Amino acid sequence: MPRTALQGSSAAGHTEVVRLLLGAAASANLGDKSGCTPLLVAARSGYSEVVPLLVEAMSELDTADTGGATPMLSAARWGHANVVNVLMLARAALNKGTTTTPLCVASRSGNSDVVRHLLSGRADIHLANNFGSSPLLLAAAHGRTEVVKQLVAAAADCKQRNEDGFSPFQVASRGGHRDVMHLLMQGSDT
């Protein structure tokens, strides 16, 4: 199915056009062949003025595309903290994803604002991606010092290992991330 007018205007951030289409009873949940709904494309693009309009129009908050991305996961992946906050307030799922979670992708990319929002919403700090890597391990592997501080302060398990048996400390040391290693030593009581 080709992109609908609402999906196209949502993807482009045309707030007034989205408002007009919703007023004319356009379906807020109709997606394209890949399952991308208007809410998903607006969240992915970070249009924090369009997302609330779609939420108010009763968009399905947790519908995933064929790749498993939900609006929350997409907003977290691209660092759109304002959109994450809007979706959280609407009660979108914080831990849903087929291969990863919003907290995992935000931690890996080092987006401390998104991580802060997700932690305040009580995202599962220990829920790992499909490789068994926790948010803390992902942040440590990529040298995301500020995010590691946030996760350690939120009581993330500094010893939680991925499916290959590596701990956050081990992946931080492999990457030469000394500041992260120091934080992990403090957080793991060793």
Chain segment 86-120, per-residue pLDDT in tens: 999 999 999 987 789 999 999 999 999 999 999 99
The residue among 96, 112, 137 that closes a domain is: 96
Q: Single out the residue in 51, 66, 96 at which a domain terminates.
A: 96
Q: How many domains does the chain have?
A: 2
CA dist 127 and 124 (Å) reads: 6
Burial readout 82-97 (b: 16 or more C-beta within 10 A, e: otherwise): bbbbbbbebebbbbbb
Q: Could you tell me if 85 and 2 lie in one domain?
A: yes
The whole-number pLDDT of residue 2 equals 54
Q: Could you list the residue range(s) of the whole structural domain that residue 148 is in?
A: 99-190
Q: How far is CA 152 from CA 34, 66, 157, 158, 189, in A?
A: 37, 34, 8, 7, 11
Say what the pLDDT of residue 144 is: 98
